[in-house]
């Protein structure tokens, strides 16, 4: 009777083991029946929109006189830019910023004893947005000529954009998807299988960097605005079944 019971237990153990071994083999085969690939879409392009900012100002103990001088400087800046080919409607001036300036006072022993009011500082910025990238870029480099007219103008570095970015992104996705599919076909061909249907597709981060720059791609996406010539790239991660 004991031998009979042992035989039954042994038989159940064999059946159970066979079940789990079969399931493990099936799961392994299923994992091996997938191909996961990453494709890259990349393109160089030239910015078609430039945004440039500059600042000018004046300082005077008399606020009314300071405003009068600032208005005169604004007229000089406007005339200069229009003569350079910028349209009046392209000039966007900010509100005037007014700051009180003080000088720190010290005793003969070097101790701080207070402050003395020395005047009002008034500043104003002007911004230009234009599709004439090269023209505005050239003006931003030559704007120091205003010094000869008595205006101290501080030029910021231009920012460069691309107005057809949505269309470019679609092209990049298409290129990246095609690149990934070709990789999957080669892998399945070399492994002796046949590429099946697309199981999933996931888009990576859209990156824009300056051409030939050393900018690093980031997890959140890089969006370069300092270079006129740019490079766009995107990745697509695809999963295919294998027959």
- In CATH terms, 50-159 corresponds, of 3.30.70.2970, 3.40.50.1390, 2.30.30.40, 3.40.50.12500, to 3.30.70.2970
Kindly indicate the confidence band of residue 200, based on its pLDDT and cuts at 50, 70 and 90. Answer: very high
Residue 15 has pLDDT above 70, yes or no: no
195 is written with which tokens? 């590429």
Residue 27 has pLDDT above 80, yes or no: no
One fold for 34-46+164-242 and 50-159: no
Share of the chain above pLDDT 90, in %: 66
The per-residue pLDDT for 109 is: 83
Q: What is the pTM of this model?
A: 0.77
| Domain ranges, ordered by start, for the chain | 1-32, 34-46+164-242, 50-159
CB neighbours of 116 closer than 8 A, spacing ≥ 6? 102, 103, 105
From the CA atom positions of the chain, what is the Rg in Å? 34
Handedness of CA 141, 147, 151, 154 (dihedral sign): positive
Tens of pLDDT, residue by residue over 43-54, are: 999 999 999 999
CB neighbours of 61 closer than 8 A, spacing ≥ 6? 118, 119, 120
- In CATH terms, 34-46+164-242 corresponds, of 3.40.50.720, 3.30.110.170, 1.10.3720.10, 3.40.50.620, to 3.30.110.170
Residue 33 has pLDDT above 90, yes or no: no
SS3 at position 97: strand
């Amino acid at each position: 009777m004991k031998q009979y019971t042992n035989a039954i237990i042994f038989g159940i153990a064999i059946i159970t083991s066979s079940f789990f071994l079969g399931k493990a083999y099936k799961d392994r085969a299923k994992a091996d029946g997938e191909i996961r690939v990453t494709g890259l879409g990349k393109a160089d392009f030239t910015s078609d929109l430039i945004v440039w900012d500059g600042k000018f100002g004046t300082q005077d103990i008399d606020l009314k006189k300071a405003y009068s001088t600032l208005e005169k400087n604004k007229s000089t800046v406007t005339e200069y830019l229009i003569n350079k080919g910028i349209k009046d409607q392209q000039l966007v001036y900010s509100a005037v910023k007014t700051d009180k300036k003080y000088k720190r006072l010290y005793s003969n022993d070097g101790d701080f004893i207070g402050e003395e009011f020395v005047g009002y500082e008034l500043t104003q910025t002007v911004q230009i947005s234009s599709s004439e990238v090269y023209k505005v870029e050239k003006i931003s480099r030559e704007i120091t000529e205003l010094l000869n007219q008595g205006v101290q103008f501080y030029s910021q570095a231009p920012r460069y954009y691309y107005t057809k970015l949505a269309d470019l992104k679609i092209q990049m996705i298409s290129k990246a998807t095609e690149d990934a599919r070709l990789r999957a076909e080669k892998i399945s061909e070399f492994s002796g299988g046949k590429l099946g249907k697309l199981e999933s597709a996931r888009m990576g981060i859209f990156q824009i960097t300056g051409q030939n720059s050393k900018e690093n791609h980031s997890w959140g996406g890089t969006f370069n605005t300092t270079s006129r010539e740019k490079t766009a790239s995107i990745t697509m991660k695809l999963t295919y079944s294998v027959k």
